[in-house]
């Protein structure tokens, strides 16, 4: 255990940031799964309304991924790969 006051503070700050980063990564994963579920649902029963939801979801996920890169939660190459997968899935139909 740390004895110096600044080291104790760093431990607290790192723990707090770790929790926030985990939440943000989880959010990106969750919405990505929901996005792919929307695409599968569209393939079964296509409609204009579903396309609109898919586009809104993709914009939201892109936004969250970009913010994660800005906050150094995700590496830029990881973000690029995730965004590419989302874009390719949208392009397929």
* Average confidence (pLDDT) over 74-81: 96
pLDDT tens-digit series, residues 8-52: 999 999 999 999 999 999 999 999 999 999 999 999 999 999 999
Residue 79 and residue 67 in contact, taking contact as beta carbons nearer than 8 Å: no
- In whole angstroms, give the CA distance from residue 19 to residue 90: 31
- In whole angstroms, give the CA distance from residue 44 to residue 46: 6
Mean pLDDT of the chain: 94
Q: Sign of the CA dihedral 66, 71, 75, 78?
A: negative
Please tell me the predicted confidence (pLDDT) of residue 5.
96
Instruction: Give the global pTM.
Output: 0.84
Q: Rounded to an integer, what is the distance from CA 52 to the centroid of its chain?
A: 20
């Amino acid at each position: 255990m740390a004895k110096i006051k600044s080291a104790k503070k760093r431990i607290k700050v790192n723990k707090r940031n770790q929790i926030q980063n985990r939440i943000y990564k989880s959010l990106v994963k969750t919405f990505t799964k929901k996005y792919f579920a929307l695409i599968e649902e569209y393939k079964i029963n296509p409609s204009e309304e579903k396309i609109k939801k898919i586009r809104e979801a993709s914009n939201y996920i892109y936004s969250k991924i970009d913010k994660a890169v800005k906050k150094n939660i995700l590496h830029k190459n990881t973000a690029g790969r995730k965004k590419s997968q989302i874009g390719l899935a949208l392009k397929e139909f």
